[in-house]
């Protein structure tokens, strides 16, 4: 372990600067450097050139952060589009009947889905925040939310009258 501590002392500031240039954020840079060192410790490579190896690890960590962020944004945008038809507490223009129907539909959801709907729509939490709150993965939170939205749509969509033809 002493080797890693020395590498951190020797290369840490330069790695931090490099990561900051890639991310544009001090916090994200710290996360990337930490992930790079954690990855190195987990894999315990026999690096011929530890400096170059650590810079590669930082670059990979930053790229992973970017991919994760892009997936999160895409997931959030998809869910936001699904959630637009929900009633929020401040939407006083909604009819009392619609509010009552939505409350009943939400109450009819399984508890795991209902809790996520409330946290996402009324609590305005992101899926990573919901995941941390409920001790589940953000992907699990997102999929449970999607299932809840599908179920609510089915319950709340008005039933259409059958189309009558001239023969009816």
Please write the tens of the pLDDT for every residue from 62-73.
Answer: 999 989 888 888
- What's the N-to-C CA distance of the chain in angstroms? 83
- Residue 124 within a domain: yes
Q: How far apart are CA 148 and CA 151, in angstroms?
A: 5
Let me know if residue 116 belongs to a domain.
Answer: yes
- Does residue 67 sit in the same domain as residue 90? no
In a domain, 109, yes or no: yes
Residue 167 lies in a domain: no
| C-alpha of 93 from chain center | 31
Domain range for 41: 2-73
**Exposure string (b/e) for 43-53, b if CB count within 10 Å is 16 or more?**
eeeebeebeeb
Domain count, the chain: 2
Structural domain includes residue 67: yes
- State whether residue 90 is helix, strand or coil: coil
**Residue 128: how many CB atoms within 10 A of its CB?**
17
Q: What is the pLDDT of residues 106-149, one digit of tens each?
A: 888 998 898 898 888 877 888 999 998 899 999 999 999 999 99
Residue 162 lies in a domain: no
User: Domain boundary at 53, 73, 93, which?
Assistant: 73
Picking from 46, 73, 100, the residue at the C-terminal end of a domain is 73
| Domain containing residue 126: CATH number | 1.10.10.10
For residue 11, the surrounding DSSP H or E stretch is helix 2-23
């Amino acid at each position: 372990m002493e080797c890693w501590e020395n590498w951190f002392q020797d290369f840490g500031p330069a790695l931090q600067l490099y990561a900051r240039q890639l991310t544009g954020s001090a916090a994200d840079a710290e996360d990337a450097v930490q992930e790079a060192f954690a990855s190195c410790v987990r894999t315990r490579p026999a690096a011929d050139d530890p400096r170059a190896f650590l810079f590669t690890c930082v670059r990979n960590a930053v790229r992973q952060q970017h991919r994760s962020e892009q997936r999160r944004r895409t997931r959030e945008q998809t869910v936001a589009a699904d959630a637009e038809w929900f009633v929020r507490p401040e939407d006083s223009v909604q009819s009392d009947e619609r509010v009552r129907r939505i409350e009943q539909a939400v109450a009819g959801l399984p508890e795991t889905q209902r809790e996520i709907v409330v946290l996402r729509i009324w609590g305005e939490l992101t899926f990573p925040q919901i995941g941390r709150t409920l001790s589940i993965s953000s992907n699990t939170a997102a999929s449970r939310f999607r299932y809840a939205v599908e179920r609510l749509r089915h319950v709340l969509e008005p039933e259409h009258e059958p189309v009558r033809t001239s023969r009816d």
